[in-house]
Amino acid sequence: MQGAGTAVCLGSDIDTDIIIAGRYLRTKDRGIWVEHVFEDLDPMLASRMKGAVIVAGKNFGCGSSREQAAVALKEAGVVAVVAPSFARIFFRNGINVGLPLIECHLPCTAGQNIRFDLTGGWVESGRKRHPVRPLSLRMQEILRAGGLVRYWKGHR
């Protein structure tokens, strides 16, 4: 599982309210989540999500269990999120919707090209390659299937 994208740098403890606010949750229209992703942090961020690799600080995705946060990032075109640690519900949600999450402390330079290989267990920014903590086998299977919905479809 390889991928690449453009670095968008964010801070630590990015909570799910900031990723997608509670006022936008009562809909099944994914376009609304894409349109308002990170709105309360920076209204311009949504336009920079396509092809982005978000490089954040620790505890990314803390707070509410809302899966819309992971879906919003995925649907907006985020390729992967790299952070030293993730809140556990967000971590499960991300993998479940097919969004690669990479546990690694990565220095961030905005606009830099980031490449990663989840099977090989590394992420690269500029010319420097960093080892990443491998996903559990189950999570790798779910991600490879394209998310938990497709994983279970394939198992039945």
Partner 1 sequence: MSTLSERILGADAGDYVDRKVDRAYVHDGTGVLTLESWKSMGGDRFADASHLYVLFDHITPANNSTTATLQHELREFACSSFLQFSDIGNGICHQLMSEGIVLPGEIVVGADSHSCTLGAFGAFATGVGATDMAAIWLTGETWFRVPATIGVHLSGTLDGVAEAKDLALTYVGKLGMDGATYQALEFIGEGAAVLEIDDRLVLCNLAVETGAKTGIFYADTMTVKYLAARGHDVLPQVPEPCDYCRELDLDLADIVPVVAVPPRVDTIKPVRDLAGLPLDQVFVGTCTNGRYSDLARFARVVGGRKVAVRTLIVPASRAVLAEAIRTGVLADLVDAGCTIGSPGCGPCLGAHMGVIGEGEVCLSTANRNFRNRMGVGGEIYLVSVATAAASALSGEITEPEVP
Residues of this chain that bind partner 1 (CB under 8 A): 13, 15, 17-18, 21-23, 25-28, 40, 58-59, 62-68, 70, 85-90, 92-93, 96-97, 136, 138, 147-149, 152-153, 156
- CB-nearer residue toward partner 1: 25 or 46: 25
To partner 1, the closest distance from the beta carbon of 132 in angstroms equals: 16
- CB-nearer residue toward partner 1: 128 or 136: 136
Half-sphere exposure of 15 toward its Cβ, with a 13 Å CA cutoff?
7
To partner 1, the closest distance from the beta carbon of 127 in angstroms equals: 30
Other C-beta atoms closer than 10 Å to the C-beta of 99 total 22
Other C-beta atoms closer than 10 Å to the C-beta of 3 total 15
To partner 1, the closest distance from the beta carbon of 123 in angstroms equals: 20
State both tokens at 73: 């990032």
- CB-nearer residue toward partner 1: 5 or 94: 94
- CB-nearer residue toward partner 1: 13 or 117: 13
Residue pair 125/26 in contact by the 8 Å Cβ criterion? no
- DSSP, res 135: P
Q: Are strands 52-55 and 80-83 parallel, antiparallel or unpaired?
A: parallel
To partner 1, the closest distance from the beta carbon of 37 in angstroms equals: 14
SS3 77: coil
